Amino acid sequence: MNISDKLKSNPAALWSAVVLIACALVALPFVLAMAGTTWVRVTNLAILFTLLALGLNIVVGFAGLLDLGYIAFYGVGAYTYALLASPQFNLHLPFWIILPIGALTACVFGVLLGAPTLKLRGDYLAIVTLGFGEIVRIFFNNLSQPVNITNGPQGISRIDPISIGNFSFNGSEVILGINFSGPVKYYYLLLLVLIAVIVINLRLEDSRIGRAWQAIREDEIAAAAMGINTTRIKLLAFAMGASFGGVAGGMFAAMQGFISPDSFVLVESVMVLSMVVLGGMGNIWGVIVGALLLSFVPELLRHTVDPLQRSLFGRLIVEPEVVRMLLFGLALMLMMLFRPAGLWPSKVRRRELAEK
């Protein structure tokens, strides 16, 4: 990390860099909007998935517990929001009440998953968490009978947008002569949440609890001998990771206005885990890079593969979705071969894998 060291020793350069990045982030949605509002939406989803990847990084990267059902917490957060702010039960609570409730509910689910799996490691833990993710999704699918709670596979629609007083994040608005579309407004909100989550993650990593997580990842027996209550600290990792997932899920529900069990399938868990692994497990900045890459590249493909084939061959030969999965698989394989520690690994993983 030579660059960051250099920046640290030169506060003027550091601050100019911060201001520059901040300006770029503020201007970004308007630049994207020129290419189409879709791209702002894509960016918003990318930020949501970055939130998810950062949450999963606590469990997988810091504490070393493999979780293949993480998307369940995203789902729990989303459904909590949807049920408390939609015509489904005719409840319309404000977001600043629901988001914490969603985080808390997801947190409870995190503990529910964590408690029975405390003694499991590696493959076994992966299988149980995978099953957990599926169970939660199947509940979403089937809790429409005998009492209709989740509305089954049809999902829940007309979910309230996030609003503060009269200001709603849905719909366009002209402020100071500039037109802010709904997605642009959500972009700024998500950006704020993302910054908060990054700060929280950085602080957690460099704290008494964060060190305890890493100690457990490194050697559970030694950690216990140092007085770390491994049960409690592992549950804490599950709970924290799940809470982040819950918040992201709530924002997803509000932003989309519609959710169904289809958004919380196993592939999504795998995708979030891939983001963590691709970027560099345990390194917050690496995880962010991984999440952004895996969010944007498929969208770029979607918008290029189809027109490209039509202009070259006059018709569509290979579906964009197929190309996407093909390249995804190829990328993962190349990565395992050439950068097994991730694109931007933590110092830890890099050395660990270099030894082997």
Partner 1 sequence: MSALLEATNINKRFGGIEALSAVSMRIERAEIYGLIGPNGAGKTTFFNVLTGVYRADGGAFTFDGTALNVKAPHEVAAAGIARTFQNIRLFANMSALENVMVGRHVRTHAGIFGAILRGAGTRAEERAIHERARVLLDYVGLAARGNALAHSLPYGDQRRLEIARALATAPKLLALDEPAAGMNATETATLRTLLERIRDDGTTILLIEHDMKLVMGLCDRIAVLDYGRKIAEGAPAAVRNDAAVIEAYLGGELA
Out of 53, 63, 215, 292, the only residue in the binding site for partner 1 (CB under 8 A) is 215
Contacts for 314-318: CB closer than 8 Å, 24+ residues apart: none
Q: How far apart are CA 315 and CA 355, in angstroms?
A: 50
198 is a site residue for partner 1 (CB under 8 A): no
DSSP string, 219-273: -HHHHHHTT--HHHHHHHHHHHHHHHHHHHHHHHHHHHS-B-GGGG-HHHHHHHH
Min dist. Cβ of residue 210 to partner 1 (A): 7
Out of 4, 148, 179, 207, the only residue in the binding site for partner 1 (CB under 8 A) is 207
What are the E-state strand segments in the chain?
85-86, 91-92, 163-164, 167-168, 173-175, 178-180
Nearer Cβ to partner 1 (202/300): 202
355 is a site residue for partner 1 (CB under 8 A): yes
Out of 141, 230, 258, 309, the only residue in the binding site for partner 1 (CB under 8 A) is 230
Q: How far apart are CA 47 and CA 216, in angstroms?
A: 29
219 is a site residue for partner 1 (CB under 8 A): yes
Min dist. Cβ of residue 232 to partner 1 (A): 9
1 is a site residue for partner 1 (CB under 8 A): no
Q: Which of residues 15-44 bind partner 1 (CB under 8 A)?
A: none
Min dist. Cβ of residue 11 to partner 1 (A): 21
285 to 23, 198, 254, 324: CA distances (angstroms): 19, 9, 27, 25
2 is a site residue for partner 1 (CB under 8 A): no
Q: How far apart are CA 301 and CA 326, in angstroms?
A: 11
Burial class from Cβ neighbours inside 10 Å (0-12, 13-18, 19+) for residue 309 reads middle
Query: CA-based diameter of the chain, in Å?
Result: 68
Nearer Cβ to partner 1 (62/79): 62
β-pair partners for 180: 173
Q: Are 151 and 89 in contact (CB under 8 A)?
A: no
Nearer Cβ to partner 1 (101/348): 348
Q: How far apart are CA 188 and CA 271, in angstroms?
A: 24
118 is a site residue for partner 1 (CB under 8 A): no
Nearer Cβ to partner 1 (204/289): 204
Out of 200, 265, 308, 335, the only residue in the binding site for partner 1 (CB under 8 A) is 200
Min dist. Cβ of residue 209 to partner 1 (A): 5
Min dist. Cβ of residue 192 to partner 1 (A): 16
Residue type, 251: M
Give me the residue label for tokens 């998500």: 190
Segment contacting partner 1 by CB under 8 A, of 28-36, 83-91, 183-191, 205-213:
205-213
228 is a site residue for partner 1 (CB under 8 A): yes
Out of 48, 235, 236, 271, the only residue in the binding site for partner 1 (CB under 8 A) is 236
Indicate if the alpha-carbon torsion angle 97, 108, 249, 273 is positive or negative. positive
Min dist. Cβ of residue 211 to partner 1 (A): 5
Q: How far apart are CA 48 and CA 45, in angstroms?
A: 5
Binding string, 312-351, against partner 1, x = CB under 8 A? -----------------------------------xxx-x
Q: Footprint of partner 1 on this chain (CB under 8 A)?
A: 200, 203-204, 207-212, 214-215, 218-219, 221-231, 236, 240, 347-349, 351-352, 355
